[in-house]
Chains A and B, each alone.
Chain A
Amino acid sequence: MNTPLIKIDRVVKVYRVGSENFTALHDISLEINDGAFMSFVGPSGSGKTTLLNLVGGLDQPTSGEIFFKNSSLAKMSREKLAFYRRENIGFIFQTFNLLQVYSVYENILFPLLLNGDKEPAVRDQVMNLVEKVGLLTQVKKRPSELSGGQCQRVAIARALVKNPSLVLADEPTANLDAENSFHILELMRDLNRQFHAAFIFSTHDEKVTRYVNREVGLDDGRITWDKRRNGAGEFE
């Protein structure tokens, strides 16, 4: 049997809120394979973003373990977790989180520079992605000069530019109108096919459901369903 890309094993996450303990995730276990295109679905406070943060190595579980290609994230130092994110994970945020002082081109280039690549060597790679996300005419603009949909395209290109194994998208369509949401989801599905990177969304947007191949329902920190599309394209 193939090694899963991500294995979430009996993960519990407890936050301290004032003098109270708040359990955000209860005993979550999941396996996610290479090339997945899936979503964590649920209302606000259901634990979607917490789960994404744990998978992305931005946070550590209170108990349980998360494995990336059989390597436990719990055993990694802060430095190693940074390297893990840099080499394997692409993040897409609800509020885009673009670096405001950089142009579109520089925002997409940034993760490659962080990986130690030299700008002239990766220029074509960056421009290819700029073209794929349809921002060739905006390449020199700064985020403040772009629409929400255009900003999210930049964020997607930035997440994919280093060919990550996994893209984590936290509510990627929450700040977009219906038309932009549609374009962004189409774009991500195409890129998932082209780049073979696994995509995990956290969302409560029903539009996303139409695109994903697997949907994990979360409520109050517990998995309430885990549906996959069958050969006919229906969830079961």
Chain B
Amino acid sequence: MILRIAWKNFIGQGMRAVLNTLVTALTLIAVVFNISMYNGFQGQVTRNMVRTDVAGGHYRMKDFDILSPTQWEDYTFTVPDKIRDAPPNERAEVLVLQGQIFPKRRLFPVQLRGIAMDQSLIDLPLDKLRELGPEIGEKVAVVIGQKMADKAHLNVGDTVVMKWRDKYGVVDARDAFVADVVPIINPRIDDGLIWLRLDHLRQLTSRPNEVSWVAVNGDRGPIESLEFLSQEELMQDILNLIEHDRRYSKIMWVILIFLAGIGVFNTQILNIFKRQKEIGTLMALGMTPRQLVRLFTLEGSLAALVSVTVALVLGTLIFSWFQSVGLDISHLRETSIPVNERILLEIRPLEVLWSTVVIVSIMILVSWIPVRKISRLDPTLALRGKGIT
């Protein structure tokens, strides 16, 4: 019975109910949108890093640090049998060494990165290198990313002097020609990198069978003198960055819910104030204070539930449209964050459910708080509209 009355009263509020519902629904949509956007961002970053560099983790020498180029030549190793026997779609051998190029007579320190051509674990657009044989021609064929090409002012077909040091410390140099300039989604393996065939780099540096790390599809257990770094460890810096941003998004989340809560609280206060005479009449008709509190709380709860339904319909429309256009983040190409030009939402049902439960609970709570006054209301004053001043 109370539910029926509450529904009638809720509908009877007209424009107030519509606005209240809309504010709550938009809050829920904004909260889910915000969370899903971060999910989309994080998802895209991690997927791109995994696809182009990290795979399922790396086996490397203990204490190897990619940020310390002077160490690189001291931290190479011969691929152990346990990994070498893995099929090409489960391992990718990589050798990184310091080098220099001299485009337009400028000195440009680079990372020479050789990658096995038979691997299919890491997805890189290095087809031009694959087309070449293991023999190095007159010039060393290299592929660079678009970012690197822009910085070094290099184009496809350009020749540039490339210098490096071999295993024995002998400095050597040869002409390198740019076989291809490719878009690489991950700026970390574009900016400052020269891609070579692994067999070419090994020949040039007299390091047969050596690698700096082997990317694998998953942990293969302990291997003597090597350590396994998981995806999380390899992406820790960027995951920390996103997590840091997520904290700000949580503050936004709290502010949004707080504002919506204030809105509902305000409406409820106004409701009680404006409907004192009705409350007095309901008391005279025999409604108990407890029933009245339940009635008004139920009205607030119904508003929250209707808001969820509206949010579901409106959210589906808004999110469907958004997924067709995405959020343009092409400006982030200049950073080291591996993202596409557009971010799409990644909606996780559990997070939507959790946000909905939190919002509905808060709405019910803020509906109930002002309603408690009713239980102490004097019916004779309420009937005259003077119970709450």
Q: CA separation between A106 and B12, bound complex, in Å?
A: 13
B287 touches A82 (CB 8 A): yes
Minimum CB–CB distance for A71 against chain B, Å: 16
- Of A95, A110, A116, the residue contacting B285 (CB under 8 A) is A110
State whether the Cβ of B278 lies closer than 8 Å to any Cβ in chain A. yes
On chain A, the residues within 8 Å of B238 by CB distance are: none
Identify the interface centre among B5, B280, B281: most chain A CB within 10 Å of its CB.
B281
On chain B, the residues within 8 Å of A101 by CB distance are: 8-9, 11-12
B8 touches A82 (CB 8 A): no
* A91-B285 CB under 8 A given contacts A101-B11, A114-B1: yes
State whether the Cβ of A122 lies closer than 8 Å to any Cβ in chain B. no
On chain B, the residues within 8 Å of A222 by CB distance are: none
Interface residues of B (CB under 8 A from A): 1, 4-5, 8-9, 11-12, 277-278, 280-281, 283-291, 378-380, 383
Q: CA separation between A86 and B281, bound complex, in Å?
A: 12
Minimum CB–CB distance for B114 against chain A, Å: 77
- Of B8, B12, B285, B378, the residue contacting A114 (CB under 8 A) is B285
On chain A, the residues within 8 Å of B8 by CB distance are: 101-102, 106
Minimum CB–CB distance for B224 against chain A, Å: 79
CB proximity to B under 8 Å, residues A96-111: 97, 99-102, 106, 110-111
A59 touches B379 (CB 8 A): yes
B286 touches A100 (CB 8 A): no
B286 touches A113 (CB 8 A): no
B286 touches A97 (CB 8 A): no
B287 touches A53 (CB 8 A): no
A111 touches B286 (CB 8 A): yes
Give 16 CB contacts A-B under 8 Å: A58-B284, A58-B380, A59-B380, A79-B289, A82-B287, A84-B286, A100-B278, A101-B11, A101-B12, A106-B8, A110-B285, A111-B286, A113-B4, A114-B285, A114-B286, A114-B287
Q: CA separation between A87 and B1, bound complex, in Å?
A: 17
* A86-B379 CB under 8 A given contacts A101-B12, A102-B8, A113-B1: no
B12 touches A91 (CB 8 A): no
- Of B12, B280, B283, the residue contacting A82 (CB under 8 A) is B283
Q: CA separation between A87 and B9, bound complex, in Å?
A: 24
Minimum CB–CB distance for A39 against chain B, Å: 19
Q: CA separation between A86 and B287, bound complex, in Å?
A: 7
> What is the number of contacts between chain A and chain B, taking CB atoms within 8 Å?
72
On chain A, the residues within 8 Å of B11 by CB distance are: 101
State whether the Cβ of A182 lies closer than 8 Å to any Cβ in chain B. no
Q: CA separation between A114 and B283, bound complex, in Å?
A: 11
Minimum CB–CB distance for A113 against chain B, Å: 5
Q: In the complex, what residue of chain A is closest to B10 when comparing beta carbons?
A: A101
Q: CA separation between A100 and B285, bound complex, in Å?
A: 15
B12 touches A100 (CB 8 A): yes
State whether the Cβ of A189 lies closer than 8 Å to any Cβ in chain B. no
A58 touches B283 (CB 8 A): yes
Other A-B contacts than A58-B283, A111-B285, 18 sampled, CB-CB below 8 A, are A56-B284, A58-B284, A58-B379, A59-B379, A59-B380, A78-B288, A85-B283, A86-B287, A91-B281, A91-B285, A97-B284, A102-B8, A110-B5, A111-B286, A113-B4, A114-B1, A114-B286, A115-B286
Minimum CB–CB distance for B15 against chain A, Å: 14
On chain A, the residues within 8 Å of B285 by CB distance are: 85-86, 91, 110-111, 114, 158
Identify the interface centre among B9, B287, B288, B378: most chain A CB within 10 Å of its CB.
B288
On chain B, the residues within 8 Å of A106 by CB distance are: 8
On chain B, the residues within 8 Å of A114 by CB distance are: 1, 285-287
Q: In the complex, what residue of chain B is closest to A53 when comparing beta carbons?
A: B380
CB proximity to B under 8 Å, residues A16-64: 53, 56, 58-59
Minimum CB–CB distance for B263 against chain A, Å: 22
Q: In the complex, what residue of chain A is closest to B8 when comparing beta carbons?
A: A101
On chain A, the residues within 8 Å of B9 by CB distance are: 101
Q: In the complex, what residue of chain A is closest to B280 when comparing beta carbons?
A: A97
* A91-B289 CB under 8 A given contacts A53-B380, A97-B383, A101-B9: no
A82 touches B281 (CB 8 A): no
B288 touches A97 (CB 8 A): no
Q: In the complex, what residue of chain B is closest to A168 when comparing beta carbons?
A: B284
State whether the Cβ of A83 lies closer than 8 Å to any Cβ in chain B. yes
Q: In the complex, what residue of chain A is closest to B12 when comparing beta carbons?
A: A101
State whether the Cβ of A199 lies closer than 8 Å to any Cβ in chain B. no
Minimum CB–CB distance for B256 against chain A, Å: 31
B286 touches A82 (CB 8 A): yes
On chain A, the residues within 8 Å of B12 by CB distance are: 100-101
State whether the Cβ of A93 lies closer than 8 Å to any Cβ in chain B. yes
A83 touches B286 (CB 8 A): yes
Q: CA separation between A84 and B277, bound complex, in Å?
A: 20
Q: CA separation between A114 and B295, bound complex, in Å?
A: 12
B286 touches A99 (CB 8 A): no
Q: CA separation between A111 and B283, bound complex, in Å?
A: 11
B281 touches A87 (CB 8 A): no
On chain B, the residues within 8 Å of A56 by CB distance are: 284
On chain A, the residues within 8 Å of B5 by CB distance are: 110, 113
* A85-B286 CB under 8 A given contacts A58-B380, A101-B12: yes
On chain B, the residues within 8 Å of A59 by CB distance are: 378-380
On chain B, the residues within 8 Å of A110 by CB distance are: 5, 285
Q: CA separation between A144 and B287, bound complex, in Å?
A: 23
Minimum CB–CB distance for A158 against chain B, Å: 8
Minimum CB–CB distance for B266 against chain A, Å: 21
Minimum CB–CB distance for A216 against chain B, Å: 20
- Of B277, B290, B380, the residue contacting A97 (CB under 8 A) is B277
Q: CA separation between A104 and B9, bound complex, in Å?
A: 15
A93 touches B287 (CB 8 A): no
- Across the A-B interface, the 7 shortest Cβ-Cβ residue pairs: A86-B286, A101-B12, A82-B288, A97-B281, A58-B379, A85-B286, A91-B284
